[in-house]
Each structure stands twice: as C-alpha cells, then as structure tokens.
Amino acid sequence: MNPRIAVVPGSFDPPTLGHLDVIRRAAALYDQLHVLVVHNPGKEAMLPIAQRLTLLEQSIAQAEITGDVVVASWSMGLLVDYATDVGAGVLVKGIRSQVDVAYETPMAIVNRHLAHVETVFLLPDPAHALVSSSLVRQVASLGGDVSPFVPEPVARFLDTGARDL
Ligand code: PNS
C-alpha cells in the first residue's frame, strides 16, 4: 500500500462545490488521486453512476485541477478492496462539521481494521460547509436554482439534461 496514493470515495449524487474543494486539496497532497463513485445502498440515488462519472470528469477538467487524478466507480464490494487493488494507502474524506466526524469515524476505524488503510480528514472551505448532495437533490427536484452550490457542468445538467433521466 502506497501512502502517496489516495482515494476520495463518495456517492457524488451529484458532485458539489464542497466535493470539488476536497478533490482539489487532496490532488495537491498526493502523487495519485482516485475519485471513486461508490454506490451507497443506504441512499436512494438521483443520478445513474455513469452520469456522476461524466459530471465529475467535466467538473475536475473545468476547475483545472492538476495532478494525476483518476475518476472511477466501484460496485464490486468493499471500498478497501478498490484501495488495495490500486495500491492506495489513504482514504480522504471531507469534514464539514461534528456530524460528519460522527458519521465518518466508525467507517475509518472499520476500514483500518479491514485493510490497514488510513483515513485522512480534510476541512473544506467554510463557504461550502452547509452544502450537501442531499440538499442539492431536494432543491433540484423542486425546480430551484442549485448553481451556487455545484460546479457549472452539474448545474447545467440539472437544469437541462436531467429531464431525460
Ligand atoms: O458520499 P457518501 O454517501 O457519504 O459516501 C459513503 C461511502 C460510499 C464512501 C460509504 O458508504 C462506503 O465506503 N461504502 C462502501 C462499502 C464499504 O466498504 N463498507 C464498509 C466500510 S464503511
């Protein structure tokens, strides 16, 4: 396991400006970064996984995030199995509040037991502290403007392309 290779996992349904901020910070810290779309069985999805991958790729390119950034998806089992496959020694999670700490801590401990993978918590810009995918999903489904909260390709898609889903 290489401590210079990291995975940023999440549902990314849809990607938000908070996600992009964490991806930018992590890309600057690690030699290689895997942005991994993982199906979360505890959440009802809005977007198909293929669409989330496309939106992440477009958003990362438009934000000019540099470095070795791989966008992929994983539905074959444990997150740490993907990390082991690509040799990643680190999982990166964004922490907005104590609620996130409480949600992420048990997963971090379990993942360390499962595969000796460390979890690193990054603090996003406070400007994004209140943004969540679930709020964006709710506002978008009710016809509201989500452009202050998501990257431009996501806002464009939710405004137009999402009608065809
Ligand atoms: O963006 P989310 O929904 O908060 O991301 C949660 C996610 C997908 C990272 C988490 O549910 C996860 O790691 N799922 C993979 C399944 C797994 O490995 N579970 C055991 C360790 S927690």
Handedness of CA 113, 1, 63, 52 (dihedral sign): negative
Residue nearest to atom 5 of ligand 1 (CA): 10
Q: What is the mean pLDDT of residues 87-104?
A: 97
Whole-structure pTM value: 0.95
CA distance 13 to 37: 9
Residue 164 pLDDT class (50, 70, 90 cuts): low
Among 52, 107, 118, which residue has the most ligand 1 atoms within 8 Å of its CB, making it the best to mutate?
107
29-64 pLDDT tens trace: 999 999 999 988 888 899 999 999 999 999 999 999
Percent of the chain with pLDDT over 70: 97
Question: What pLDDT does residue 44 have?
Answer: 86
- H/E stretch holding 154 reads helix 152-159
> Mean pLDDT score of the chain, rounded to an integer?
95
Q: What are the helix (H) ranges across 33-132?
A: 49-62, 79-86, 98-115
Dihedral, 146, 148, 150, 156 alpha carbons, nearest 10: 60
**Structural domain boundaries of the chain?**
5-159
Q: Which of 73, 96, 147, 156 is catalytic?
A: 96
Question: What pLDDT does residue 70 have?
Answer: 98
For 102-137, give one letter per residue: b (16+ CB within 10 A) or e: eebeeebeebeeebebebeebebeeebeebebeebb
Q: What is the mean pLDDT of residues 131-142?
A: 94
**pLDDT above 70 for 161:** no
Q: What is the mean pLDDT of residues 66-74?
A: 96
Question: What pLDDT does residue 34 have?
Answer: 98
CA distance 6 to 158: 29
Residue 72 pLDDT class (50, 70, 90 cuts): very high
CA atoms within 13 A on the CB side of 102: 3
Which CATH number describes the domain made up of 5-159? 3.40.50.620
Query: Would the CB of 10 count as within 6 Å of ligand 1?
Result: yes
> Does the annotation place 65 within a ligand binding site?
no
> By three-state DSSP, how is residue 102 classified?
helix
Question: What pLDDT does residue 163 have?
Answer: 59
Residue 95 pLDDT class (50, 70, 90 cuts): very high
